[in-house]
Structure 1
């Protein structure tokens, strides 16, 4: 088993041709799922057999294991139901209730044939029956014998499930008519890492999983077309656009069809099915993109056009965030908006082309920050959603001319500033399910998380930040990095100390707010006094524009950085001043011209610093 694990890990790295030297060493648990499910499309239920080989690569002895039973959330009075109804009682500053609009009170009104459930019928370990307890969306299993460090054991499970009416991510008959969006559909082993077990209840959002290999066989009515995670092993028996070019499709007799998928080195498996799916493909650099959609007036042109846009998008993604390591990716119409999974995404698909493209790029970028990094989203949602939003902004801005305007990240900054103004902001270190409002979660995880990265480019320089993102991909994929791991990568890329940046922006509610306090002459030279109004300190870019049109960058490092960022704009001279101590609210610099020769002064004209009041950043005589 150890040889298999090492080989799989090595193969994953060789996919991209990146060097293996100097990689961080962090143990990972390992799983190998073999599942056989039989779907009844008449009553929306299926039975399943699951064999799970589990390898304990940790130094710890395990006395329990935990599984996720996600679909048990879709029952009246569940934690998800109650949490949604309670948050709906909160009235936001805009006068709206703080619902998740997709959930609201819909779970409370589900009938018995509409709910979701996952029932474990039997569970054995190495042939011996085990005792277990269902705690709503978590299965707690007491082991008859502990799993020793570096040991492998086998769990065999029989289970049955009912597909819920589509409410959140999973379900049947979504708003666009897709019959089955099959995410979180199987009992899934919880992650055990250096922080211990993570039996996180399915209350609202975000996931965490163990990397491994999946071998999944699905038997379903032969009218249905399936798209999802993994490589189809019997394409010439299935057809539906999977068949080898020129091959004759030979389907077995009977009303059902068996689909056999294999997925290597992933932490989840999703599939969707509909009898009306149209399946097209697009060859991209090193892999094939698959597209599954219901063809109608809204989709017949947009999805084929979208498919043709993917190669250019990937060229940008590969250069800036790293290579996609698998040989296939599927964009599938389904779900409730957009939801990422390894090797596939479920997205709503009836919108206009730019909207479809933007959602698809966001979900695809999750393949990097959720699919490959595998950060614990329940603890660090912004490290996935925020980083993905940052990358999505860059991809769409650089590949769609009509989106070029005030800047790639203007919308994310506006979202963050709205959060600050609302008074509902909470620290980004808040676990995703523990935010007091859906509003605060959404704007913290997405816009503020994206601002974290763009503003980091202001602090250390965009080139160092971009180099760090590629190093982060090379060093930490398939290893569940945390925020400190990321910051260490950025410190190495920049040569600067950055612990202060993480602590202020992630762990506190201190904000950036600087102003040009006063400008006056002294001995024939202008003196500029800057003031830190907010409690978060930052280095300062101050651009002087003289009346003769000449511009000079006056750069003030922050004491906490123990260094300075490289010059970014070669079009103007840069003068570097002594560092500004974070304890001091004011700082003065002397210019080499009098006030009368100043046309303007501006703090951070690039507007990458998340200054919550930019009105006082500009001085004009």
Structure 2
């Protein structure tokens, strides 16, 4: 009987308690916005703190390649030797390799899925690999069994590659027609003095086998880029004697392929902050521009701990260079090659200056540039990056040339150093790179050129568009109209908001640099980035990742009203979250006496409701209240961001 009485009293009490709560608050359930993501769990390979775990592994791919360019037939032929090291905990009966030149055939998946109206990722359809003499050796046995499917090839071993350090060797000969139109990533540019060949995806390369997906075998379709293993490269390119070759890595035989004059200029450039001409526009095509005019030269390059290599060759190149100054007294060499028609102080004659400035900024502020050379190639490619080599449009000038040069060399940090999966997560390289481009552009010549991130509100129309897509949309799936926002601009704005609004520059910079250092030459997943940023900044950012990176939400925070406190000094400022994305609120308060005060309210004010009252304690007369006075937040409706007294 007593128990029932207590139970009845408890029910009455709780009903009254919750009734009061209901009367006091017109609560909105925002819990879903702030609920935990499922990304925090860790394992022995990847920790919950966003670091490689104690059993993290990745495989290694070392290449030796010898290739020859035929500038009459426009073909490349070569022999490849791949030494593959299996550091995984399981034996491998086969490996997958990419044959990306097979994209340039009539029946490739990429060709058949391209819109008939055309687009950026159109390409030739009369190419593709011809392979011969394929041998795969593991242990004491050799196999030639392989299956080619579109842009992938499965190579089988007679004896599986042992786990935890077993090795295999794969050799093959290859040849293909060099596409003139190479999906804006490679190809041929006809100039006044000859063809410029921009050579990328130019050899069969192994796919990544990782602890998350196993074999990553997404076909090469168009928008999706690359995911590569790290290793050491030694490659030799044989070309007509009239050609100059530039490529990823360090040139090993400059004395053999340069004239004495060019070699002196080359050595001078290694010590010069000013651009030094190695081969001038006036010298292009002259017999004196090359050690000989007939036969061939073989250019020899080496590059260590890299995920790829690319090169360019032409008899039309103007060539200049300058020293790059790196931390701890180290140096590298910035180089540019371009045709006569691209030269000029408004054009490519400033390319090396741009390259040098870009590399030096990122090295000082994020992670030191690890390669010996940084080479900008004037190309029919609008803009594409490879380790140490960028292809940029030969027609780019002034701000356009700075922007594309800075962007493509910024990619040396994402994804060349931090080796994310571009084919799935374009935002982890394009978006991160667009973000750091903002700060390098602000720094270059004290802001000579504008940065598009200086006005984040440019994205507001896209966020409210009915066809918007989430950042997590795979690039090959994304609507072509949306790709620039999904992969580049929206993730860049997201990082900008994190740095400038949510956590502040000091904590953000420490976390971002730590992420780069932690995952240098490794394969981070999105969850690794989220976990690492949260652990180093000390913030639970699940609301931000969900709303901005995995959602299609809009930001619209406004001032609902301002009123003086009754019988007290101060004001009650009523705020409302009209959009679907919570954000901290930055307030600028202006008073009649001319003084100002700035206050930032945390995002947690929106945890329980979309309305919040801020109590401003002051004896001054309030004149004006402004949300986000610096205009850093892409708020969808600026009309409710300002309150002023009636007489204003």
Who is 2:454 aligned against?
410
1:190 aligns with 2:207: yes
For residue 547 of structure 1, the aligned residue among 592, 615, 625 is 592
Name the CA distance, whole Å, in 1 between partners of 2:520 and 2:110. Answer: 31
* DSSP-derived class of the 1:615 partner: helix
* DSSP-derived class of the 1:154 partner: strand
1:474, CA displacement in angstroms?
1.5
1:50 aligns with 2:80: yes
1:372, CA displacement in angstroms?
0.4
2:441/2:447 contact within 8 Å kept: no
Aligned CA distance change for structure 1 residues 317 and 273 (closer, same or farther; 3 Å): same
Who is 1:215 aligned against?
234
Name the CA distance, whole Å, in 1 between partners of 2:502 and 2:163. Answer: 43
1:82 aligns with 2:93: no
1:261, CA displacement in angstroms?
0.9
1:441 aligns with 2:459: no
Name the CA distance, whole Å, in 1 between partners of 2:587 and 2:153. Answer: 57
* DSSP-derived class of the 1:455 partner: helix
Structure 1: tracts of 5 or more residues without a match:
1-21, 89-98, 560-579
* Deviations 1:199-249 (CA, angstroms, capped at 9, x unpaired): 121111311101111111111111111112111111111116873669999
2:348/2:397 contact within 8 Å kept: no
1:582 aligns with 2:601: no
Structure 2: tracts of 5 or more residues without a match:
1-50, 268-287, 326-330
* Deviations 1:518-567 (CA, angstroms, capped at 9, x unpaired): 222331432111111122222222221122222222322233xxxxxxxx
1:516/1:618 contact within 8 Å kept: yes
1:475 aligns with 2:511: no
* DSSP-derived class of the 2:334 partner: strand
Who is 2:638 aligned against?
614
Aligned CA distance change for structure 1 residues 125 and 310 (closer, same or farther; 3 Å): closer
1:447, CA displacement in angstroms?
0.7
Aligned CA distance change for structure 1 residues 583 and 64 (closer, same or farther; 3 Å): farther
For residue 188 of structure 2, the aligned residue among 173, 179, 194 is 173
Who is 1:570 aligned against?
none
For residue 345 of structure 1, the aligned residue among 386, 390, 414 is 390
Aligned CA distance change for structure 1 residues 454 and 201 (closer, same or farther; 3 Å): same
> Alignment length, in residue pairs?
557
Who is 1:257 aligned against?
297
The TM-score with structure 2 as length reference comes to: 0.81
Aligned CA distance change for structure 1 residues 359 and 309 (closer, same or farther; 3 Å): closer
Aligned CA distance change for structure 1 residues 266 and 335 (closer, same or farther; 3 Å): farther
1:48/1:159 contact within 8 Å kept: yes
Name the CA distance, whole Å, in 2 between partners of 1:66 and 1:163. Answer: 23
2:455/2:632 contact within 8 Å kept: no
For residue 243 of structure 1, the aligned residue among 238, 263, 270 is 263
1:492, CA displacement in angstroms?
3.3
Q: Which has the higher contact order (CA 8 A, sep 6+)?
A: 2
Aligned CA distance change for structure 1 residues 48 and 433 (closer, same or farther; 3 Å): same
For residue 427 of structure 2, the aligned residue among 378, 382, 392 is 382
For residue 529 of structure 2, the aligned residue among 460, 475, 486 is 486
For residue 60 of structure 2, the aligned residue among 1, 24, 30 is 30
1:334 aligns with 2:379: yes
1:268 aligns with 2:312: no
Name the CA distance, whole Å, in 2 between partners of 1:381 and 1:553. Answer: 37
1:118 aligns with 2:132: no
* DSSP-derived class of the 2:341 partner: coil
Who is 1:430 aligned against?
473
* Deviations 1:404-441 (CA, angstroms, capped at 9, x unpaired): 67x76135541x32322432211111111111x11112
Who is 1:566 aligned against?
none
Name the CA distance, whole Å, in 2 between partners of 1:225 and 1:143. Answer: 39
Aligned CA distance change for structure 1 residues 444 and 470 (closer, same or farther; 3 Å): same
Name the CA distance, whole Å, in 1 between partners of 2:307 and 2:623. Answer: 57
Q: CA RMSD in A?
A: 2.6
Name the CA distance, whole Å, in 1 between partners of 2:573 and 2:228. Answer: 53
2:206/2:229 contact within 8 Å kept: yes
Who is 1:455 aligned against?
497
* DSSP-derived class of the 2:481 partner: helix
Aligned CA distance change for structure 1 residues 197 and 413 (closer, same or farther; 3 Å): farther
Name the CA distance, whole Å, in 1 between partners of 2:474 and 2:562. Answer: 45
2:582/2:603 contact within 8 Å kept: yes
Name the CA distance, whole Å, in 2 between partners of 1:182 and 1:512. Answer: 44
1:295, CA displacement in angstroms?
1.8
The TM-score with structure 1 as length reference comes to: 0.84
2:190/2:196 contact within 8 Å kept: no
1:181/1:271 contact within 8 Å kept: yes
Of 250-259 and 181-190, more deviation after overlay is shown by 250-259
1:24, CA displacement in angstroms?
6.1
1:60 aligns with 2:103: no
* Deviations 1:135-172 (CA, angstroms, capped at 9, x unpaired): 11111223332222121111111221111122413444
1:283 aligns with 2:323: yes
2:121/2:184 contact within 8 Å kept: no
